[in-house]
Amino acid sequence: MITHTMRSLAAAALTALPLLVTLPSAHAANMTAAAPVSFVSEPGAAGRAPLALSAAIARMPVAVEQRSGYKRDLYKHWNKGLNATDGCDTRREVILSEAVEAPQITAGCKLTGGSWTSAYDGVTVTDAGGLDVDHMVPLAEIHDSGGYAWDPARREAYANDQGSPLTLIAVTAKSNRSKADKDPAQWLPPAEDYRCQYAAEWTATKLRWGLAADEAEREALLTLAEDCPTTTVIYETAP
C-alpha cells in the first residue's frame, strides 16, 4: 500500500462523510472494483457531496482535442517543492511522500534506500532511480483538452500541482513510458484492480482543472464506470 502524506490527509478528510470508506492512500494499488471507494482531489474538498463516477464523468464537457502548438517545455515542471528547506524539487517531493519505506536524504536531495509500490502495475521498487513521477493527465493531454489556452503561470501550476493528492504519482518508468500521453481510450494500467481508481483520479484531475474530454475518452471512462458502481469522486477546482 502506497503512503502519501497529502493523499493520507485527503483520505482522513472523508471521516466527516459517514457513508464513505476512509482510505490510507489515494493511490492504493491493491483495490478491487467491488470495494466502496471515494477519491478527493485535495483535503479541503471534504465538504462536497460525492459524485458517482459516471456522474463525475458526465460533468466534463466533450470537445475535439487541439494539440496545435504543444511543446513539453511550455509546461515548466519540477520546480521547487513545497518544502523549501530540504533542497528537493516537486518530483522528489512526490517520490518521498509516496515511499512505503522512507529513503535516506543526503545533500542535493539524493535519495538512497527506501521502497515504493507502483500503482499502475503493482511492482515494488527499491531504488528511487527506477521511478518516474507521472502527471495523472499527461501534459500533452492537458494541452489538447484546454491547456492550449492557459497562460504560462497556470501551465506551471498544473505541472507542479501539489495542492491535489491526485495530480502526480510515482510509478515504474516502464509503466509510465507505456502510458506516455495516452488517455483512457488508448491505455489503462496493467494492474486491473487499480482501474476504477485510475478512472476516478483521471476524472477528478480533469474536473479540478476545468478540462474537456474527447468523445472516445468519455466513452472509455463511462465503460469503466459500469464496472465501478461504488466508486465516487469528490474534487475541488484549482485556484
Per-residue pLDDT tens over the stretch 40-94 = 444 344 337 899 999 999 999 999 999 899 999 999 999 976 665 678 999 999 9
Q: What percent of the chain has pLDDT over 70?
A: 78
145 pLDDT tier (thresholds 50, 70, 90): very high
Residue 152: pLDDT band by 50, 70, 90 thresholds? very high
- Percent helix, strand and coil across the chain, each to the nearest 5: 40, 15, 45
State phi, psi for 85 to the nearest 5 degrees: -95, -15
CA distances from 223 to 168, 186, 195, 215 (A): 24, 13, 11, 12
Residues 158, 202, 217, CA angle at the centre, nearest 5°? 115
Reference 43, options 93, 89, 69, 8; nearest CA is: 8
Cα dihedral sign for 121, 236, 76, 127?
negative
Q: Pick the range with the lowest mean pLDDT from 47-61, 142-156, 219-233.
A: 47-61
pLDDT in tens, 14-52: 222 222 222 334 564 433 333 344 444 443 443 378 999
Does the pLDDT of residue 110 top 60, yes or no?
Answer: yes
Task: Find all residues with CB under 8 Å of 84, minimum gap 6, and list them.
Answer: none
Q: What is the pLDDT of residue 123?
A: 98
**Angle subtended at Cα 106 by Cα 28 and Cα 96, rounded to the nearest 5 degrees:** 10
Taking only the tens place, the pLDDT of each residue in 118-141 is 999 999 999 999 999 999 999 999
Confidence grade of residue 12 (pLDDT, cut at 50, 70, 90): very low
Q: What is the pLDDT of residue 238?
A: 95
Count of all residues that appear for the chain in the document: 239
Report how far residue 189's alpha carbon sits from residue 132's, in angstroms, rounded to the nearest whole number. Answer: 15
Q: What is the mean pLDDT of the chain?
A: 83
